Structures are given as C-alpha cells and as structure tokens.
Amino acid sequence: MVHAIHAHHNDVEPKTIVACLVQAADAISAARPGARRKNLENYIKRLEKLEEVTSSFPGVEKSFAIQAGREVRIIVKPEVVSEDEMTLLAREIAQRIENELEYPGQIKVHLLREVKIVEYAKIPTSHSTPPPLGSSQGRGFLHGAPPKFLSFLQFLPFVFPKNSI
C-alpha cells in the first residue's frame, strides 16, 4: 500500500499491480470535469458560453447545456419558428458552435417546439343549469358521448350494463 501511494504520482516507479491500478484510477479521476478547481471554472465557463451562443438566435426562448456539455436542448418560440425552420435553425446553431467554441468530441443540438392548444366545453345555452350528478333525466348517463367511445364501452359489460349506455 505504501508503495502504491508513493507511485501514484510517478514519484517512484510502480512495481506492483496495485500501484499501477492506483495510478490509473488517479488519472481517470483527474480527467473528469470539475476534478480540479481551475478545470471546474473552465468547465462552467464553457457551459455558460454554450448556452449564451445558442440563446442568441432569434426565436430561441431558452437553452440548456446538459450531459456535461455534450448536448444542448433549445426551446424555441412556436409563434416565431415554424417546424420547417427548425431544421435550418438547428444547422445554423451547430455551425456557430463549431466556429466559436472549443469543445471535446461533439455536441448534440436538440430543438424543441411546443404548441399548446386549449379549448373549453361549455354547457349549451338551452340548459340553464346542468343536471345533478348521477341523474340521467331519462337517458343513459353517457348520452351525447362520441360514437367511438360508446362502441368501446360495449366491450366492458361488467363496468357498464347494457341499459346504462
């Protein structure tokens, strides 16, 4: 053990398998992002620069560097960027990253465009108040349900007896 401790920074030549393993483990540990203070600062600056570059494009709402900077997820504004424009925008962002940043390996550029649509079902004006819950008013409690839904319910006789639909 003492020899492995001495040998792990090449102070002495490693003569045992344990010394070689400790030396390899130390090298792996030192290579990970943030292992050393200066490396941590450079790593954080690189991620911030990646997010800054990707956020600078018109139509980009937000961007997130993830997977230790190997991937960037970019949320675009759907009212500004169409689905067709997303492919071009992704390529432009990738080219700017290639030209302006230094990074190991490759960076995956992932664009997200989310469209939300909300519609409200309202009580028809002919009914001033909805019927009380559980009241079918002479009709099945699923009166007015879409035909496909009703045909699906036929396969569930143990839940919905024939007379209730």
Q: Which amino acid, residue 133?
A: L
Q: Is residue 14 a contact partner of residue 20, using CB atoms and an 8 Å limit?
A: yes
Separation CA 47–CA 143 (nearest Å):
57
Q: What is the pLDDT of residues 27-84, one digit of tens each?
A: 887 777 656 666 778 888 889 999 999 999 999 999 999 988 899 999 999 999 999 9
Reading across the β-sheet that carries 108-113, which strands appear in turn?
60-66, 71-76, 108-113
pTM of the model: 0.52
Q: Average pLDDT of 137-144?
A: 54
DSSP-assigned states of every residue in 24-47: HHHHHHHHSTTSSHHHHHHHHHHH
First-to-last C-alpha distance (Å) of the chain: 79
More confident residue, 132 or 10: 10
pLDDT band at 103; cut points 50, 70, 90? confident
How would residue 137 be classed by pLDDT, with cut points 50, 70 and 90? low
Lowest-pLDDT range of 9-13, 85-89, 106-110, 113-117: 9-13
Asked if pLDDT for residue 142 goes beyond 60, the answer is no
Determine phi and psi for 84, rounding to 5 degrees. -65, -35
3-class secondary structure, 104: coil
